[in-house]
């Protein structure tokens, strides 16, 4: 096998690829799906409690809230704007402070506290905003709060639905770009007779297949990384993320080569993907329903790349924590070269027979 010829074929595919509607579709999918998920389910990570303040004076409470971590503060001009923002669910709660609020608190006058709560505000956000506000009022009064509130979580932290969809988005990007594009390229070239024409050139069929696989591998890894970046998974240990994505892209590219060498034309490829797609994407469903038996997805090969992606990007796992799963993925990748080589030889025999 000549790497020069492989790189020449790869360069040709990368130059001509953007002309294909399917390539453009694969490159746009992460952006479209991410926008859809964020609009429907909210941001990737739990949003901070959102508090709006109408401060008719220069209250110390507003200044203290601005310096409080974990709260998204919005300063508003009047109470009507506050009510409008609450009605449209842009805020979780609203606080109205009169011009002499601080002076009356210090004088012991016990002024009324105008605290509005949005109808869709989560219970946890209501508690956080209420306790924080009362704590700051006591500090303005000059006394210490009677208790120190410590919020302690029990059990595993519940991830929002958008976070649990992240493995699905990443895997979908890998499937479209890493699996489908190299498979479709091989199927189309078989149908058009391009692969048969290569038999009279110095290029070998194995070199063509290798070039398709490298294209799927490179584009799949890039689009998976873009999908993670779009969904906010940016504070991830670089080495762990790199290893996980490279193994995931390699496995998907191999699956694409198997599909492409088996299928005689795009129609056969579509039928094959429809019939087996659930086996590839199946593990992602179990992140949406964590109460389902978690041993079932382990029977599917793509689990061993999907779960490390989930653990590294969302749970902050390091290589030492997912090395067993990555070793299983590497073993699957090594084994898949055997059927790929056999299918490539069979494809060459089929092409030679006309």
On the 0-12 / 13-18 / 19+ scale of CB atoms within 10 A, 306 is buried
Query: Whole-model pTM above 0.85?
Result: no
How confident is the model at residue 354, as a pLDDT? 63
108: β partners: none
pLDDT < 50 regions, the chain = 43-45, 147, 149-158
**In the chain, what are the domains?**
3-42+160-352 (no CATH), 50-141 (3.40.190.10)
Tell how far CA 305 is from the center of its chain: 14
How confident is the model at residue 153, as a pLDDT? 40
Q: What is the pLDDT of residues 271-314, one digit of tens each?
A: 988 888 788 888 878 877 777 888 888 888 889 988 898 888 77
How confident is the model at residue 253, as a pLDDT? 93
What burial letters (b/e) apply to 160-184, b meaning 16+ CB within 10 Å?
Answer: eebbbbbbbbbbbbbbbbbbbbbbb
For residue 54, give both structure tokens.
Answer: 């109408």
Instruction: Provide the 3-class DSSP secondary structure of residue 184.
Output: helix
Q: What is the pLDDT of residues 308-332, one digit of tens each?
A: 988 887 777 888 889 999 999 999 9
Q: Decide: 128 and 70 in contact? Cβ < 8 Å.
A: yes
């Amino acid at each position: 096998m000549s790497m020069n010829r492989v790189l020449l074929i790869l360069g040709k595919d990368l130059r001509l690829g953007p002309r294909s509607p399917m390539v453009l579709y694969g490159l746009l999918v992460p952006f479209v799906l991410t926008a859809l998920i964020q609009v429907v389910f909210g941001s990737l990570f739990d949003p901070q409690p959102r508090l709006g303040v109408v401060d008719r004076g220069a209250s110390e409470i507003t200044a203290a809230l601005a310096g409080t971590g974990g709260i998204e503060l919005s300063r508003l001009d009047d109470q009507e704007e506050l009510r409008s923002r609450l009605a449209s669910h842009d805020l979780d709660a609203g606080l109205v402070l009169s011009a002499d609020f601080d002076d009356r608190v210090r004088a012991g006058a016990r002024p009324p506290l105008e605290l509005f709560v949005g109808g869709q505000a989560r219970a946890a956000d209501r508690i956080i905003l209420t306790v924080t506000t009362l704590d700051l009022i006591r500090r303005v009064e000059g006394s210490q709060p009677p208790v120190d509130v410590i919020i302690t979580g029990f059990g595993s932290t519940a991830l929002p639905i958008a976070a649990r969809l992240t493995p699905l988005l990443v895997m979908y990007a890998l499937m479209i770009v890493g699996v489908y594009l190299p498979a479709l390229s091989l199927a189309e070239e078989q149908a058009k007779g391009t692969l048969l024409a290569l038999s009279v050139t110095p290029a070998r069929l194995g070199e063509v297949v290798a070039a398709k696989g490298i294209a799927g591998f490179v584009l799949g890894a890039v689009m998976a990384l873009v999908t993670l970046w779009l969904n906010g998974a940016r504070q991830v240990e670089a080495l762990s993320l790199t290893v996980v994505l490279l193994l995931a892209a390699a496995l998907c590219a191999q699956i694409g080569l198997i599909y492409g060498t088996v299928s005689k034309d795009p129609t056969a490829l579509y039928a094959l993907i429809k019939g087996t797609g659930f086996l590839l994407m199946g593990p992602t469903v179990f992140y949406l329903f964590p109460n389902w038996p978690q041993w079932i997805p382990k029977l599917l090969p793509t689990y061993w790349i999907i779960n490390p992606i989930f653990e590294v990007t969302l749970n902050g796992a390091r290589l030492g924590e997912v090395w067993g799963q990555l070793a299983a993925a590497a073993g699957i990748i090594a084994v898949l070269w055997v059927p790929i080589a056999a299918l490539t030889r069979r494809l060459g025999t089929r092409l030679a027979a006309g």
